[in-house]
A and B are shown apart, each in its own frame.
Chain A
Amino acid sequence: MDTFRDKLIPVTSILAGVVVLWYVFAVILNSPFQRDLDTRANETPGTVEFIGKTLAQPKPTLPAPHQVAVNFFENTFLRPINSNRSLVYNAWVTLSSTLLGFAFGTALGIVIAVGIVHVATLDRSLMPWIIASQTIPILAVAPMIIVVLAAVGITGLVPKAMISTYLSFFPVTVGMVKGLRSPEIMHLDLMHTYNASASQTFWKLRVPASVPFLFTSMKVAVAASLVGAIVGELPTGAVAGIGAKLLAGAYYSQSIDIWSALVAGSIVAALLVMVVGIAGRIVDRAMGGRPA
């Protein structure tokens, strides 16, 4: 209960601060347009009425929190789930390619890390390329991946997932290289005194030692996967997904739609990170981890 209170109070105070600031900026940013409208309509509203109007524009520069909340609620709970205006539907489209890409990315990251740890040539040659791969703007690579894969007949979910893979394998590789190299010299010496083979040392020592590193890097990777899936929807003419919602909102200046899609994206990200965290804790306990 104490930890609950210890966490709840700071988190809610920050949230309250953000909401207050948000309202202040909504009024400030929406005022010029509102003043414009009022001048043209020959109206001279009082201060309170004016502020009220800035917070109720249909296409505001910065929507007020309650506008986003109402829009989010309507599009999440009041639409049929198979409607393409439903945020649940769009979030699911993005989530499915996120998960596929994350699975590919984690597997790829582990395979590369094993290669780097066990093959000296790969250790020297691969890492610079892997780091370079992450410096390329994903927005530039994404359409090429889609086009190239479409040319070889791969369309649909997989190309989008590939972009998630591209972003998510990196943290897993870096984390797993560190994890597989984490056993102490003493533990390696111990295996040596048993005349253990390389594969026995790998499975009985390196792999279990790397598990905490894997889950830490998977938390980063799953968030990166979601970003990848959203970015993958932007330049590819996707018809559904959180990225597609963002793009459509931008086309039609539906700023409230953009913001509620962003909220949906953050909720999905938070849930994903939480699920990976819980999975990590379950595995840790199963491996005899000390309860914190």
Chain B
Amino acid sequence: MTGTSPAVVAASKLGLTFQTNDGPVQALSNVDLTIGKGEFVSFIGPSGCGKTTLLRVIADLEKPTSGTISVNGMTAEQAREKRAYGYVFQAAALFPWRTIERNVALPLEIMGLSRAEQAERIKRTLDLVNLSGFEKKYPWQLSGGMQQRASIARALAFDADLLLMDEPFGALDEIVRDHLNEQLLQLWARTNKTICFVTHSIPEAVYLSTRIVVMSPRPGRVSDIIESTLPKERPLDIRETPEFLAIAARVRDGLRAGHSYDD
């Protein structure tokens, strides 16, 4: 399904070795991956499998030690300098001294957009994440789920086509998480962005993705890539269908094959 669309992310023989006090640690080894425009790709695996590291390499927050990575046809660094992606962290990482609208404005200020342009984009992105009416609130006045939505709005505000999300809902309870998953799918359908999504939840990965990249640790590597056969329109109860469960079982098998359950 990626064959015809131009690659947004292309990794080839990608490797990253951290030098630590306990000797070198191979966080990523021999990763080959192509992500096409408009895909929703999840990275799943146990902790230490390098899924976050891979996302950080795409974002140019880490430099690979071997292999190549290109983002939008450029090096990762050039892509970052061109602000090719929005990044959503595990925590909302909002600035506590800024109101929600000023937080969303942060990347726009850095890009030097005019006040009018900023106001227009703030309104549009806060609408998109259903946070209209909370512009003047400070982060502590919002629930954890709303804070994370504000941080998604901030990542969307400057209209990058690529959204990198590092376990954005990991710290939230399951009810909020279901709700945000649903909203994220709607947002993806409306904006047609390419999304890379790190998670350690199998149902979350299967529910959201068009493709699931299963990773395994020591060394961090891709052990399986699973295409989802689910339709683009996904109500929450799709998670009880046999098709959904079959994909989830394949993901679980992939994790097992990668020795993810070994100690």
Contacts and interface: CB of A to CB of B under 8 A. Distances in A.
Interface stretch (B2-10, B21-29, B77-85, B214-222): B77-85
Contact of B85 (A193, A208, A289): A193
Interface stretch (A46-54, A73-81, A166-174, A184-192): A184-192
A279 to B, nearest CB: 16
A117 B82 CA distance: 28
Given A193-B59, A194-B107, A186 B97 contact: no
Given A194-B110, A195-B80, A204-B110, A288 B89 contact: no
Contact of B89 (A186, A209, A287, A290): A186
B97 A287 contact: yes
A23 B61 CA distance: 68
A196 B110 contact: yes
Contacts of B138: 288, 290
Interface in A176-212: 184, 186-187, 189-196, 200, 204-205, 208-209, 211
Nearest to B112: A200
Most buried by B among A192, A193, A196, A205: A193
Nearest to A200: B110
Contacts of A195: 80-83, 110
Contact of B109 (A186, A189, A204, A208): A204
Nearest to A201: B110
Contact of A194 (B90, B98, B106, B140): B106
Nearest to A195: B81
B242 interface: no
A208 B140 CA distance: 16
B89 A190 contact: yes
Contacts of A192: 60-61, 80
A196 B81 CA distance: 9
A187 B139 CA distance: 14
Interface in A236-292: 287-290
B261 interface: no
Contacts of A209: 97
In this complex, the interface size class of chain B, counting residues with CB under 8 Å from chain A, is 20 to 34
A92 B190 CA distance: 67
Interface string B72-94: 00000000111101110111010
A194 B95 CA distance: 15
A134 B102 CA distance: 41
A206 to B, nearest CB: 11
Nearest to B158: A194
A290 B80 CA distance: 34
B17 interface: no
Contacts of B80: 192-193, 195
A192 B165 CA distance: 16
A82 B218 CA distance: 80
A290 B140 CA distance: 7
Nearest to B160: A193
Contacts of B83: 193-195
B155 to A, nearest CB: 9
Contacts of A287: 97
A161 B61 CA distance: 47
A251 to B, nearest CB: 53
B110 A190 contact: no
Contacts of B139: 288
B61 A193 contact: yes
A288 B135 CA distance: 13
A192 B87 CA distance: 10
Q: Which 10 A-B pairs have the closest CB atoms?
A: A288-B138, A287-B97, A193-B87, A186-B93, A194-B110, A208-B97, A194-B107, A196-B110, A290-B140, A195-B81
Given A187-B93, A193-B83, A290-B140, 6 more contacts: A186-B89, A186-B91, A186-B93, A193-B80, A196-B110, A290-B138
17 contacts: A190-B93, A191-B110, A192-B60, A193-B80, A193-B85, A193-B86, A194-B107, A194-B111, A196-B110, A209-B97, A211-B97, A288-B96, A288-B99, A288-B139, A288-B140, A289-B97, A290-B138
Interface of A: 184, 186-187, 189-196, 200, 204-205, 208-209, 211, 287-290
